[in-house]
A and B are shown apart, each in its own frame.
Chain A
């Protein structure tokens, strides 16, 4: 058998999961939550992860939903990515989050992998990291002391590390409905379709009196956590769109990156040059789509 041995639990409610996690923590048991398992299973099989206990959330049926309330889209953490991909609500009201979902893995991965699992796993190359930052999303976690709502910029701490405590469970992610007239773009570069991205960019903006406003540029895959690039955003904000401006914004974005990741797939400098190109292309696409 490929994974090392572990104890397995499949609680049926969030409360049951939380009290189980707390008990395991009190007993000093190294426990890990299993959502869809599309990142965790390879780590178990390669024995990069060797938890003593797995807490499978698959039997909790209350965390599978996508709905909108007062301009906020709420997605249950155990909603599969293919359900998000097939959601007309997401496609119409939050097309950036929808487009990013289509870039995640392959259909087989999205059928089993969950939305919450991707946020909680916090892979630097995960599309949702950039979406969380670009849309200022909120993550809802439930623990022994009740519920906490964590803004995206406090949620991600480092490589594969979030603000979720050992005895807490991510139950929901929230994204605002995209406002009328917003232009957006999502692009990434992968070695093969469906691979983890070497680098990617998400952009949203509006147009007012012929100038770009409300410009948001978020990048992922290049550092431990996805981030917005304020210098490049400021450069474009208030300016008339054009190829020269987009190219300059790309260079500004690339220059702002602090030591991009170098690994077997690409050097940091290559990733930096990808960001320059992707920011330029995304700005052009977003401006073309803005009303």
Chain B
């Protein structure tokens, strides 16, 4: 057993302090230690994108990081999309529902977080920009067309305005 690492980080606005085994991946930390099971584990080696979360404002794959690497970071997972006060879904989530951007839903948390990263950088993306931003996420149900439509609708819903992420908007 190797020495445990002290870990301090923020997830969806909540501060956590934990001791972790250095070889614990970030996604396993989120799911097993914090019980935040919204982030899904697909391939576990950086191919499928299901485990995509936001770290310090940017989308990353939580299976391709050690929990220890997130020391000091601010994370957002799919659980943080919903408005904490009103309980309302985030406009990106509503857009995926309205445009049927999911079927089985396994890949959806990753797509939602990758979409959040895209729309924060680029509030009015072209279809090509949407495809480029989501090319690291696999979906085996939809054939992707409805996902692209969902992102288009999400961009429209936020009217090209800044997305407020954890605290909801629009």
Contacts and interface: CB of A to CB of B under 8 A. Distances in A.
A108 B114 contact: yes
Interface string A58-85: 1100000000000000000000001000
Interface of B: 1-3, 5, 21-25, 28, 44-46, 49, 52, 55, 58-61, 63-66, 68-69, 71, 114, 117-118, 132-133, 135-137
Interface residues of A, number: 32
A111 B133 CA distance: 12
Closest 7 CB pairs of A and B: A106-B136, A8-B22, A42-B45, A111-B58, A41-B64, A3-B23, A112-B60
B2 A6 contact: yes
Contacts of A109: 46, 61, 64, 136
Contacts, number: 101
Contact of A46 (B21, B25, B45, B69): B45
A209 interface: no
A105 B136 contact: yes
Nearest to B56: A111
B2 A5 contact: yes
Contact of A41 (B3, B49, B65): B65
Interface of A: 1-8, 10, 34, 37-38, 41-42, 44-46, 54, 56, 58-59, 82, 105-109, 111-112, 192-194
Contacts of A42: 45-46, 64
18 contacts: A6-B23, A8-B68, A37-B69, A38-B64, A41-B64, A41-B66, A42-B64, A45-B25, A58-B69, A107-B59, A107-B117, A108-B49, A108-B117, A109-B64, A109-B136, A111-B117, A192-B135, A194-B136
Contacts of B28: 1
A2 B67 CA distance: 13
Given A37-B65, A108-B52, 7 more contacts: A8-B3, A8-B22, A106-B49, A106-B136, A108-B61, A111-B117, A112-B64
Given A7-B2, A38-B46, A112 B71 contact: no
Q: Is the interface of B mostly helix, strand, loop or mixed?
A: mixed
B5 A111 contact: no
A5 B1 CA distance: 7
A50 to B, nearest CB: 11
A107 B69 contact: no
B24 A1 contact: yes
Contacts of A7: 2-3, 22
B44 A107 contact: no
B136 A82 contact: no
Contacts of B69: 34, 37, 56, 58
Given A7-B2, A58-B69, A107-B136, A45 B45 contact: yes
A44 B24 CA distance: 11
